[in-house]
Chains A and B, each alone.
Chain A
Amino acid sequence: MQNDTYLPILVLLLGAIGFAVAPLALACLWAKKFSPAKPGKDKNAIYECGLEASGDAWVQFKPGYYLYAIIFLVFDVETVFLLPFAVSFTGLTLGACIAMLVFLLLLIEGLAWAYQKNVFAWT
């Protein structure tokens, strides 16, 4: 029969599920029969290192960090492309050169925008 070839996979699948479920089921049974669950205020606390949690986890961060990272990318990407650009500069066509300068200009425009928005002043 054709379907017989899939039988080993089914057996393996059942074995895998059993391997995962059996310990959990045994633990559950053990808890029911012998070891009662004892939840409590401290045990159910979110923070677990002896101190009580204070305040809210939804705190706000300064957007300054975000802008800093973005502007770092301007220089980062520039460097990545400027190195091969400089190496093959003499062999480039005029079109490639202009494309590269436009790319540079776009990035520098971002920098100029940030400068005009007064992002560099860390307040």
Chain B
Amino acid sequence: MDEALKIELGKQGIFATSLQELYNWGRKSSIWPLNFGLACCAIEMIATTMARYDLARFGAEVFRPSPRQADLMIVAGTITKKMAPQVVRLYNQMPEPKYVISMGACAISGGPFKQGYNVLKGIDRYIPVDIYIPGCPPRPEALIEGFMALQKKIDEQPLTGSSRPRHLKADEPSEFIVPQFGAHDLEPSQNPTVWHAPLVNISIAGKDDTGTA
């Protein structure tokens, strides 16, 4: 339906919608996060749910202690290599449609522990991340901003067609490789279907944007 016509109808007191809009509205208005924190970012996440910042305004106050009932995984904190398999397995156990917010520097890239031996350098090496929230830790306002960005993303997802999201395509996986402890590192050290190492072309690095591929 034409957008202008819809607005015009709305002025006359007639509310028009489509199945896709109804579906997306329902999903974005009741995103239940997984009750799951890894490090100090989790404190900010908890603060976001409390009265001062009140994540309940966005329909997300119901933190589920079971992945079976959760829609959103907020990876809040440092992912040690010991914890990474559990995080991926929890993600695998969530029902579709599921989303991931990578909260804080550690969940994005390893943060201050990036050079360490025991910290995963970003959860996006194993599972697809929808929203990245930088900060160390990000303030509750930043998490709310990220949450609203996720709602916007959900609102724009088409129900049919080739650009529909992963969970509506039958041949795309819902589970991802759970890493195992190897002799020196997690095996595999990243999921190649999800993450590619950014290759830097040294000769043109810093001159233009094509320096990174």
Contact = CB atoms under 8 A, between A and B. Distances in A.
13 contacts: A34-B159, A34-B160, A34-B168, A35-B96, A36-B169, A40-B174, A42-B178, A43-B92, A48-B66, A49-B90, A50-B89, A51-B89, A52-B89
B86 A43 contact: no
B8 interface: no
A50 B90 contact: yes
Interface in B30-74: 66-68
Given A34-B168, A35-B168, A48-B67, A43 B174 contact: yes
Given A34-B159, A38-B173, A50-B87, A43 B93 contact: yes
Interface residues of A, number: 14
A51 B175 CA distance: 15
A52 B90 CA distance: 10
A43 B168 contact: no
B95 interface: yes
Interface of A: 34-36, 38, 40-43, 45, 48-52
A38 B93 CA distance: 11
B158 to A, nearest CB: 11
B67 A38 contact: no
Contact of A38 (B87, B174, B178): B174
Given A50-B87, A50-B89, A42 B66 contact: no
| B87, B89, B90, B160: most-surrounded residue (chain A CB, <10 A) | B89
Given A34-B159, A34-B168, A48-B68, A43 B87 contact: no
Given A42-B175, A43-B95, A50-B90, 14 more contacts: A35-B96, A35-B167, A36-B169, A38-B96, A38-B170, A40-B92, A40-B174, A42-B93, A42-B178, A48-B66, A48-B68, A49-B90, A50-B67, A52-B89
Nearest to B68: A48
A103 B110 CA distance: 71
A42 B89 contact: yes
B169 to A, nearest CB: 8
Contacts of B169: 36
Interface string B86-107: 1101101101110000000000
A51 B66 contact: no
A51 B93 CA distance: 11
B19 to A, nearest CB: 9
Nearest to A45: B93
B128 to A, nearest CB: 14
Contacts of B160: 34
Nearest to B91: A42
Contacts of B96: 35, 38
Nearest to B86: A50
Contacts of A49: 66-67, 90
